[in-house]
Structure formats: structure tokens, C-alpha cells
Structure 1
């Protein structure tokens, strides 16, 4: 992502916990400036009282959506329309969706097709289709618990998806000597699937790789990490 990304934050207040907003904004601050901040829902509902308490504090614009028809989610439609308007009319590099609703998956893939990045936040119940569609996805449940269970070495090695992602990334970015720069490995993985080492309980990708314990790790002359898969040595 660009160092100075302009970010549009769109919140599905009906399907997101208000107490996680500080975590969301702190994470987004690492990626750029949040120029657009909107939260969607039926603000006449008592269920959104928690959100009402934080809107003004964090300069979030509430977008009213009445429940006009039972079983129909007007919030989803309003967010989708606004997201497309922002995509075409605003200078935004990154979109952020706070929701646990899988219905936004087609919207995410459409935005990605325009070369934008998408950061997702949601609870553990969020369907895999939406999680995997995002460039990066972080779980709000983990923030509420203040820590993520750190997976042990045997658990990491048994995660076939993770192991395939790492091995394919090393193979796809390695030089003739078989060594691949960690930064390129991380970029390659991000281009393949939604990925964040913190979802496995590790602060950095290098920590996660070390915990797996199957790959050679060294630092180059510039002190940058490099990796090599012993199974695919040059």
C-alpha cells in the first residue's frame, strides 16, 4: 500500500461492535489518512446506542437507513452505492469495510479490480469468502480479547493453506541461489490471499516464519531477512 494512502472507512454498524472503533482507527493510521468516515444503520434503533456514543468523538458521519422492509438490509445497499460513488468520484487509494457480512464480497472484488486495496475488519463469524477477498483482514474478536492465541509450531505446520502460501511465495520470489527476500515473500502472499501474521498470534511475518521452523533464515548485507525452502534449494 502507498505510504500516504487516502482511506475511505465504511462501517456496517448493524454488524460491528462499537467498542472496537479505536482499534480500527489505530490500525488504519498505519496505512494512511482516513479522509472519509461513515457508519450506516438505523439510528432510531436501540441496538446502535453504543455506536452513537463514539460517532462524534471519532468524527464519523452517521448515515441513516430505515428498516423499510422486513428481511431486507437497506444498510448493505446504501454502503454499496456509496462505495461505488467514492470509487469513481474521490481520490481514495484504500477502502476499509467494518462488517461481518459476506454480502459485501462482490463489492470488494470489484474495488480490487480497479487497483485499490481493501482492508476488512469483522468478527470470527465472518464467512471465509469475505475474509479471503480482502487485501488484509483483521478479527475484531481478537482485539476485544486483547490477544490472539499464538499457534504452536505443530499447529502452524498442519495449516496446509499457510504452508502452501509460504512455500509458493518463496518459490515465486527466490533468486538463482534459492534465497528470497522476506519483503517480497510478504507481498507475494498478500497478492494471493488475505493475510496478516497477527491472525496467527505473531507480530511480524519473520516471527511467524521462525515459529514454523521449516525454512532457513538469514540477513543479507543490508540486514534484511531472506528465506530459503530446504526442499527447493538451487
Structure 2
């Protein structure tokens, strides 16, 4: 059954030019049944969102700044998320923002058994990236222009510096070692799930590869075998004699079987 995803967009904190790409990316994981964008639509800074709302059937949610310095957009998005949680009509949430204020919301939704995706810029605080099941970097979406100027970040939003990517060799080697079976091999699918579970921001595109298999096969310290859906990964040099021992044991057992008795009538 396809997951029903509630897509909640912090329009104050996200460029409208990513609208089509982020929805296409989220469609890989389920069906966006709720699509809402939050912001003060009287502001000139959100004019670019106007055409995108109709084009992608996104409902605009008006928020009002009643007090200077307070972000009413965050509050409205959080309240709606909790209402949707208790409605039981969605299976997953996509929080589209680079604002660390949504970290606790992501944690709370996951505690209730919901899958949470966060979609934000590369400089989204590590806390929010780690609080979700998967973090999707806006800059990695295929057709998004690279020269998009980031919206002015509200207080508590992303810092200027993006969290550093983990060392690739260390990440992949540790992943294979932890996820592999006794013979040192792990299926590519299991390996990918392990990486995304332990590091929600992991994405082969961050390292210049479209797919995990392409990334793995380009690493001199990893080796693969099989094809299609049966590809397995192992660390080069991590040899094990487990399969050979199994074969030898089977041959030995076979040699010990008593010879078949001859039929005296023949």
C-alpha cells in the first residue's frame, strides 16, 4: 500500500523554484495527499509562490505576524501537523524547511510511528537532519537551478555553514561491516537501508553519483558481485572462509555415508 504523505511547506524559508522538484522527489516514497504552504501571502517575498500553488494544487495557509520577531508560520505548520497526526488520514509527513525549530515536531511525529521526511537546503542544522527518517537536500534535485538565492532565514533557521559530509570511506566501510552477514557480504538493498537509517541525510547525489550502485562500484575499497536485484557488497580484503568451509563440510559428510547395500537377488 502506498503511503499517504502530508507535505507541509514553510514558504517563508523555501524558494518557490523548487516546488515541482520537491514534489516529484517525494512522490518516489508515496502519494502526497495533503499539500500546504505556509506564509504571510501579503508579503512581496512570496509572490513567486502564487503560480506554483495553482500549478501543483498546493493550498496556501495564511499566517499573520501578530508580534514582531515571532514566527507565526512555524506555529501554524506545527498545529496543522498535529491535527493531521490525530486524524489518522496520513502515513508520513514531509516538512519542507531549513528551520531547526521543526526538530521537535519531527521527533514527535516519529514517536507516533509516522515516517518523516525533511526537505531543506544543505545548511539545514544537523539537529533537524538527524530527527527525520530521511533528509533530502534541495540542491540535489535534478532540475533545480543552482543559482537560486536562499530566502532570508528567520531566527532559528539554518546556519551559514552546511554540516560537513561524513568521510565516505569510513561511512561505507562501517556500513558494510555492520550490516553484512557472517561471510562479509550484504545485499545492496539492505546496505542502502542501513545507510539511510543511520545517516538520514545520506544521498549518493551528494558525492556525484545518481545511484548507490554507481557510488559503490566506484570505490576501490569495495567489491560487488551479482546483478539486477541480487547485487551484494563487501569490503575488499575482508576475506572469509565461511563458504569454503560449508562446501568442505558437505563433501566430508557425503563421503561418510555408508555405501548402498547390494540386492542379493541381483
Q: TM-score range by the shorter chain?
A: 0.7 to 0.9
Distance 2:169 2:2 in 1: 32
Q: CA RMSD in A?
A: 2.2
Report the TM-score when normalising by structure 1.
Answer: 0.86
Distance 1:15 1:49 in 2: 14
Match of 1:211 among 200, 214, 218: 218
Count of aligned positions: 221
- CA pair 207-87 structure 1, distance change in 2 beyond 3 A: same
Report the TM-score when normalising by structure 2.
Answer: 0.76
Distance 1:132 1:212 in 2: 26
Structure 1 consecutive aligned stretches of length 4 or more whose deviation exceeds 4 Å: none
Larger radius of gyration: 2
- CA pair 33-162 structure 1, distance change in 2 beyond 3 A: same
Deviation at 1:225, TM superposition (A): 1.1
Q: Tell me if the contact between 2:38 and 2:77 (Cα under 8 Å) persists in the aligned partners.
A: yes
Distance 1:161 1:116 in 2: 30
Partner of 1:180: 186
Unaligned runs of 5+ in 1: 147-158
Unaligned runs of 5+ in 2: 147-164, 241-266
Distance 1:160 1:90 in 2: 37
Match of 1:41 among 36, 39, 42: 39
Deviation at 1:168, TM superposition (A): 2.8
Query: Could you report, residue by residue, the CA deviation over 1:194-216 in whole angstroms, capped at 9, with x for unpaired residues?
Result: 12212222111111112222111
Distance 2:51 2:15 in 1: 12
| Structure 2 residue matching 1:43: 3-state secondary structure | coil
Which of the two has greater helix per residue?
Answer: 1
Query: Could you report, residue by residue, the CA deviation over 1:39-79 in whole angstroms, capped at 9, with x for unpaired residues?
Result: 00101111110111211111111111011111110111111
Distance 2:41 2:176 in 1: 48
